[in-house]
Structure 1
Amino acid sequence: MDILPIDRASTESAIERLIDLARSDTGQARRVARFLMAWWNGPDLGHFEIADLFGLDLSVAADIATVIGFLGQHSGAIYIDALGYEADMQDIIARWRSPADTEAATSPND
């Protein structure tokens, strides 16, 4: 099977588009926020339902697929904070979760 490598620059561009969308106030934003929070800390912030992809524009779903493809080509876990997006994630968590949820949402690397 051939593997199409996904480079870090493409992944970071996709992440930045996803973060921008998650900071907005739409149904797509909520789905994207759930994806990002599940990547950050699924046990505390909830998991991403794969069917949520069906409610996204194709370009947004492609950005999620890019991130997943990038993560899948590495052995071991890579969390979003390791790529330099910790502050962005704290903003998204604060926007989409209650204060009690936010307190529980520590980085998986803590």
Structure 2
Amino acid sequence: MTSITTDYDAARAALTRLIPLALSDTGQARRVANFLMAWWNGPDLGHFEIADLFALDIDVANDISTIIGFLGQSRRGAIYIDSLGFAEEMQDIIAMWRTTAAPTKA
């Protein structure tokens, strides 16, 4: 059985791989961007379709799983991507993928 590490360091490492992908122009970029924006502010920026995991490379899907596992294990309550040091990058992702949406979280 494969185990995915879901601690703080693993979550930050996963984000350092996911963010550049979300800012790129590849077939997986939109799906990763949708995941990150759903985490940031799903009601305003849209939701992430779980079935989109099927269209991702396994390493990318594992990075998303790492983030989900980290969020699910937190005893601190809600954790957003900006608290992990990626607010500016999220603004860039939102500007790239949601030109009509306000770039703020709920």
Task: Tell me the CA shift for residue 9 of structure 1.
Answer: 1.0
TM-score by length of 1: 0.88
Alignment of 1:25-40 (within 5 A): 25-40=25-40
Q: Runs of 4 or more off by more than 4 Å in structure 1?
A: none
Structure 1 window deviating more from structure 2 (72-81 vs 40-49): it is: 72-81
Alignment of 1:17-28 (within 5 A): 17-28=17-28
Runs of 5+ consecutive residues of structure 2 not aligned to the other structure: none
Task: Tell me the CA shift for residue 5 of structure 1.
Answer: 6.1
Letter in 2 for 1:77: A
TM-score by length of 2: 0.91
Residue pair 2:33, 2:93 contacting (<8 A) in 1 also: yes
Equivalent residue, structure 2, for 1:105 = 103
Task: Tell me the CA shift for residue 105 of structure 1.
Answer: 3.1
Using the alignment, how far apart are the partners of 2:71 and 2:91 within structure 1? 21
Equivalent residue, structure 2, for 1:6 = 6
TM-superposition CA deviations, 1:12-49 (whole Å, max 9, x none):
01011000100110120000000000000000000000
